[in-house]
Structure 1
Amino acid sequence: MANFPSLKLIDVCKVPPSPAAAAPSSLPLTFFDVLWLRVHPIQRLFFYEFSSNEISFYDIIVPKLKSSLSLTLCHYLPLAGNLIWPSQSDTPVIEFVNGDGVSMTVAESDDDFYHLSGNGFRKVSKFHPLVPQLSTSHDRAAIVAIQVTKFQNKGFSIGITNHHAILDGRSSTSFIKSWAQICIEESFIPTPKQMPLYDRSVINDPKDLAKIYAKAWKDVEGPNNKSLNLKFPQTKHDLVRSTLEFTHQNIQKLKEWILNKKIKNENFDSSSHISSFAIATAYLCVCTAKLEGLKEGKLWFGFAADARTRLKPQVPLNYFGNCLVAGFVVNERFELLSENGIIFACDEISKTIRNLDDGPLNGCENWGMMSQEMTNDYSKLQINSIAGSPRFGVYNVDFGFGKPKKVEIVSAESPYIFSLTDTRNSDAVMEIGIVMERDEMEAFVAIFNQGFESYFIDQSLG
């Protein structure tokens, strides 16, 4: 791990599961997992404010986090292991052996806790020292790495980096919430529904998609390239991060505006349900189109959806691993820039969600090649997309020291990626994390805020 000017490394240790647990010591990857094999890892950062100066970071907080992590890994044994690709295997597997564990770094930062955990403009480079790197090589890759960082006497952060080929957002959030619960109450035992389900037979793969996707990876820089090294996008260091909110009032008023327009215009279908997700993401598409100012061409928008409830038969919600499908929406820019732009976007997003409900695996034969091409050159992926979900409830992750002051998806570090989370603010539905160059960010924030006003004025005029 690189040293940073504002960071002082205190300790790097390996936390093993203790006591030994009854869980598989080897776990195969499904096609949902192999899809993400060399994609950059997911990095989340939780900021916690010290509730009092009496709680010692080194004597109480760090030991409790370590001991509870050790207990949690008994239920999540694969996280303590490594990803390998045996010579005789068509696909990679997770392997756990005695002596394995999760790397935990303890550090101190002299950066401004309240600035970093705020909503304003913050340099993306300020967050890099706070999230750990995964140990990866040609033939082995760690699954999870953790870093706990103290900020003077203001608070601390927990940075969690996880391999995307092992965990999706639901699985990683379940692990973090179990860890937090055990940190509060070490005798806590997850219920059967909370316990991770490792049964790979619940994922049907009659087309041998796992082998097809694995071959797509092996053919890159091959032949038979079984490298487990990850591919990272090129990042600009002059980008800034900001957080915006969709309030309950804004979502409701946008919904009313859309429904009123649909009722008055017979060309629009007013019968279908409009979700908060569809309204929020449609609004972001319109704001993006306005920012870019292009009157011709198409604006692409993509999002991941949990397939657990969409597959037939359904996959239990506590299934451990990836179970994501992707939806892609294409909007004409001139339509997005028109008076009814949010309606066009909302209808297309809602239709894509319904299509995923009806046929979540449509086109799945091509996903492996698409993922491999995207990872080979991230810059070619000019698609606006979403990371995270407000449904994960990350602001409820309390390790016994209070709920998070702020949660950031650090790996969402591109002007094309909006990160969505729930929020601490009871007046808001969700937070939107945005990364752009400063000038673009200022323009986008203005468009975002002014857009609401124009819809609301239009509504008040009837």
Structure 2
Amino acid sequence: MAKIHIVETSLVKPATPTKRHTLALNGLDLYWSEFGYARTVHFYRTQPGHHDFKAIVQSLRNSLSMLLVHFYPVAGRLVPHTSDDNVDSGDPPLIVLDCNDTGVEFIEACCLDVDFGQLQGKGFRVQDFFARLTRTESRLRPEDPIMSVQVTSFLGGGMAIGCSSDHTLFDGFSFACMMKSWAELCNGVPALSAPPHHLRHQLDSVSPRQLPRLRTRGRPAIAPHDDLEVRMVPVTANTVEKLKAEATDGGPFTSFECLAAHVWKARTRADTLTQQGEDARAALRFRVNVRARLVPKLAETSFGPGVIHALVGPVTAGELNKESLGATASRIHEAVLLYTNPTKIKQELERYDAGEMVYVWDNHAELQHPSVVVTEIVDLRTIGFYDADFGWGELKAIRPATMRGSGVFSLAPPPPPPRPPLIGGGSVEPHCKLELIVRLTSKEMGGFLPSLLSVPWPPNGM
């Protein structure tokens, strides 16, 4: 097991104090709060002349302090807010954001026995020790930070920035925007290219006093699986074109619709073979960024969650297995079109505000039945994670910190081509267009991969 040594833990506050105030949370914020921390690990290969880890850590700490002046909510705390109405009714208190400059947790660490080149040579395959490159799983106390950063050095000239960011304030887009801004400040840029917007009233469908209280009953935990496997499967342009050519019923369809249909069918076939049979019900869930789909539009740099869950199905596993790829892609296409309608989006936001969408896995009544097999596909292609160039090394890979959530798949872009000089091996092949990150139990993985690879697929990266 890798040996991770914690050198120092501190709090980083904004470089200049910000005005203390309280921000109310809308229903969408409260929904995503049920997810706890999003935990990601960003692996960097340091370049020649940038091997002074202490100097890098100090640069990151100083620029993070400057960043928090712009992203001041991140330095605050989520706290209970009790009103007379709460006391009289006996309801749990509302959760609000106290913008109080308490700070972001910053951890300096070193890995004593793992060479960065070995990680890179294996394609940064997810390993158990990745969980120790970030903070703990969830916020348990009001004083816990909204964000924690752990900077870990490896043998051989590489490092990782592990981030635990509370989903109440972050989705992938707002997190990537913040990371890019942090990198700009680390490079000495005098003004941010895309400063954050903290006004989010377009996402409020009802007045704040009507927002749901924090529930006392919890959601079903997304528990870790001892036998959960994570595989990184490269997806080439040729594979995508083959799927598009096969999905002719009612098309043309987008790359996402065809890939999602193929993955959903492959996972359902694997689950049918190993567990529940043809009468099991299958559902697909994916995320929709609604910022640009609202009227008026929400700024793309709007900070905080701006994505909602879309649902396809449930349908019986037998029906899904028998229908063509085009028919399944058509189901997904109809759901995508539905969420281009501002009226539909507003209706969905009302459901979040009414408390109907609070829990992660039971936010649709149809999904509460134990026979429903839920497949979730997270599309990370346009989020811009690789835009964060801190100036001292290339971002080689972004990986989840933990292996949790069987049946969750991520479509991620490969890292950009390396800048010369290239140090070490293991870079993504030029023909690789995407990476499919697969999370399944060992039993399911054995049935899923043959079904997934039923179209032309590159043999490496498994």
* TM tier, smaller: 0.7 to 0.9
Superimposed CA distance per residue, residues 393-414 of structure 1 (whole angstroms, 9 cap, x where no aligned partner)? 2233221123311111335622
- 1:45 maps to what in 2? 41
How far residue 12 of structure 1 moved from its aligned partner, in angstroms, is: 0.8
Alpha carbons 1:116, 1:122 under 8 Å: kept: yes
Superimposed CA distance per residue, residues 33-90 of structure 1 (whole angstroms, 9 cap, x where no aligned partner)? 01123322211111111323x4234332111111111111111011111111221286
TM-score with structure 2 setting the length: 0.82
- 2:106 maps to what in 1? 104
How far residue 199 of structure 1 moved from its aligned partner, in angstroms, is: 1.4
1:218 has 2:215 as partner: yes
Identical aligned pairs, as a percentage? 22
**What SS class does the counterpart of residue 33 from structure 1 fall into?**
helix
Q: Partner letter of residue 199 of structure 1?
A: L
Alpha carbons 1:120, 1:242 under 8 Å: kept: no
1:203 has 2:192 as partner: no
TM-score with structure 1 setting the length: 0.82
How far residue 375 of structure 1 moved from its aligned partner, in angstroms, is: 7.8
Change beyond 3 A, Cα 1:146–1:379: farther
Change beyond 3 A, Cα 1:321–1:213: same
**Rounded Cα–Cα distance in structure 2 between residues aligned with 1:365 and 1:199:** 18
- 1:166 maps to what in 2? 169
Superimposed CA distance per residue, residues 253-298 of structure 1 (whole angstroms, 9 cap, x where no aligned partner)? 2212323xx3xxxxxx24xx52111111111112112322343333
How far residue 116 of structure 1 moved from its aligned partner, in angstroms, is: 4.2
Give the root-mean-square deviation of aligned CA atoms.
Answer: 3.0
| Corresponding pairs, count | 423
Alpha carbons 2:223, 2:405 under 8 Å: kept: no
Q: Partner letter of residue 233 of structure 2?
A: L
Q: Which has the higher contact order (CA 8 A, sep 6+)?
A: 2
**Rounded Cα–Cα distance in structure 1 between residues aligned with 2:172 and 2:357:** 21
**Rounded Cα–Cα distance in structure 2 between residues aligned with 1:30 and 1:306:** 16
1:296 has 2:298 as partner: no
More deviation in 370-379 or 352-361?
370-379
**What SS class does the counterpart of residue 403 from structure 1 fall into?**
strand
**What SS class does the counterpart of residue 29 from structure 2 fall into?**
helix
Of 54, 70, 75, the residue aligned with 2:70 is 75
Of 219, 229, 234, the residue aligned with 1:240 is 229
Of 173, 180, 185, the residue aligned with 2:183 is 180
Alpha carbons 1:123, 1:238 under 8 Å: kept: no
- 2:425 maps to what in 1? none
How far residue 441 of structure 1 moved from its aligned partner, in angstroms, is: 3.0
Structure 2 spans left out of the alignment, 5+ residues: 87-92, 416-427, 458-462
More deviation in 139-148 or 76-85?
139-148
Change beyond 3 A, Cα 1:75–1:30: same
Alpha carbons 1:119, 1:244 under 8 Å: kept: no
Alpha carbons 2:28, 2:305 under 8 Å: kept: yes
How far residue 120 of structure 1 moved from its aligned partner, in angstroms, is: 6.1
**Rounded Cα–Cα distance in structure 1 between residues aligned with 2:399 and 2:291:** 25
For 1:391-402, list aligned pairs within 5 A.
391-402=382-393
How far residue 319 of structure 1 moved from its aligned partner, in angstroms, is: 1.1
1:432 has 2:411 as partner: no
How far residue 32 of structure 1 moved from its aligned partner, in angstroms, is: 1.5
How far residue 160 of structure 1 moved from its aligned partner, in angstroms, is: 0.7
For 1:225-304, list aligned pairs within 5 A.
232-259=221-248, 262=249, 269-270=250-251, 273-292=252-271, 293=273, 294-304=277-287
1:334 has 2:352 as partner: no
- 1:225 maps to what in 2? none
Superimposed CA distance per residue, residues 420-455 of structure 1 (whole angstroms, 9 cap, x where no aligned partner)? 2211244233211112334543543333223336xx
Superimposed CA distance per residue, residues 236-262 of structure 1 (whole angstroms, 9 cap, x where no aligned partner)? 233232111221121122212323xx3
**Rounded Cα–Cα distance in structure 2 between residues aligned with 1:61 and 1:274:** 45
1:8 has 2:5 as partner: yes
**Rounded Cα–Cα distance in structure 1 between residues aligned with 2:360 and 2:147:** 25
1:143 has 2:146 as partner: yes
How far residue 121 of structure 1 moved from its aligned partner, in angstroms, is: 9.1
Of 405, 415, 421, the residue aligned with 1:414 is 405
Change beyond 3 A, Cα 1:398–1:379: farther
- 1:441 maps to what in 2? 445
How far residue 218 of structure 1 moved from its aligned partner, in angstroms, is: 3.3
Alpha carbons 1:108, 1:149 under 8 Å: kept: yes
